[in-house]
Amino acid sequence: MHLLEPTPLGNLALANRVVMAPMTRSRADANGVVGDMTVAYYVQRATAGLLVSEGTNISPDALGSPLTPGIYSPEQIVAWRRVTDAVHAANGVLFLQLWHTGRVGHSLVRGGALPVAPSAVAIPGQKHFTMQGPMEYEVPHALTTDEVQHTVLDYEAAAQNAREAGFDGVELHGAFGYLPNQFLVDASNRRTDRYGGTVENRSRFVIDVMERLVAVWGSDRVGIKLSPTIPFNGMTDSDPLATFGYLINQLNALPLAYVHLMKALFPLDAFPTWPKDAIATFGPMVRNRLMVNGGYTRDTAEAALGGGAELVSFGAPYIANPDLVRRFGLGSALAAPDRATMYGGGVHGYIDYPALPADTTERS
């Protein structure tokens, strides 16, 4: 089975091609510091070829959701070091996902400060989770050109902090409607400076950040996650083929670890001109390693590896199946996650999902 074959990632040796996708679990404390539960959570899943951490705020200004971790304070760095040390002791490989939520936040979570974005355009038709319940999205503060450039430096500092915390690399969260995605699509980016207008200008923020990350980490240690055809969080573009085609071509010039492409997770009937299969459309454009994500099973992942992908990431299955790699190898049934405990809480629904007994054998 190709899915379970070892594979190199630069000078890292991955035990298999199974990746644990980044997943927000909201188990940090009020200061964005992870604890013992998070150490256990990643160690339990360290048999994945690669673990990608939950989205981790690069700065106080990046914060959008409560109880999510950061990588900007000394306390956060020390706490993450405990995680990386434990994962490495379990022979695992762990990248940190760098996260700036942009307008996907609320002032109730941000000490009264409005969320920031490329332009002063609120997310339509959705509400945001806060500790006081769901709230309508606010019109964000439009970043000035100087503030955009300062945010690029925040990403660079976070990448340096990730090295100090012992991670093996970093992934830019450029998907699902967060700040880099907001710069890319024309529904949320209405700027008239060098970061808005043309496809080249709207891509500039992402390219600037990625160049900084590669400068910190070097070859084969930086990835990026993209969702070209997911309209969630108001991410609609008049021409995603042109936008993301241009971006991927620019990323091909960088020595990346991988490009992490998401399939469409929602019906696209309202977008008849959009590509219907993001992997088939954009995957062949990628000259770096291709990682794919979006509802894959063991069998469909195996097919994806035969069709050009080199790595496949799994999200929800990893919540309830810490031994997912072993279950794939045995052909065992997968446990279902408890959706009520996905975000926030304690041990239950986080680190109490059992692994298969040691004497489990393959099912017919």
How many Cα atoms are found within 13 Å in the side-chain-facing hemisphere of 130? 18
Q: What is the DSSP letter of 337?
A: P
CB-CB neighbours of 104 under 10 Å? 25
Rg of the Cα atoms in the chain: 19
Amino acid at 312: V
The secondary structure of 69-131 as a DSSP string is: -BSSSHHHHHHHHHHHHHHHHTT--EEEEEE--TTSS-TTTTTTPPPEESSS-PPTT-EEEET
End-to-end CA distance of the chain: 17
Is 178 tagged catalytic? yes
**Which residue among 41, 72, 137, 178 is the active-site one?**
178
DSSP, collapsed to helix, strand or coil, labels residue 13 as strand
Distance CA 284, CA 18 (A): 20
DSSP, collapsed to helix, strand or coil, labels residue 306 as coil
Amino acid at 17: R
Q: What is the DSSP letter of 40?
A: H
DSSP, collapsed to helix, strand or coil, labels residue 346 as coil
Provide the annotated active-site residues. Answer: 178
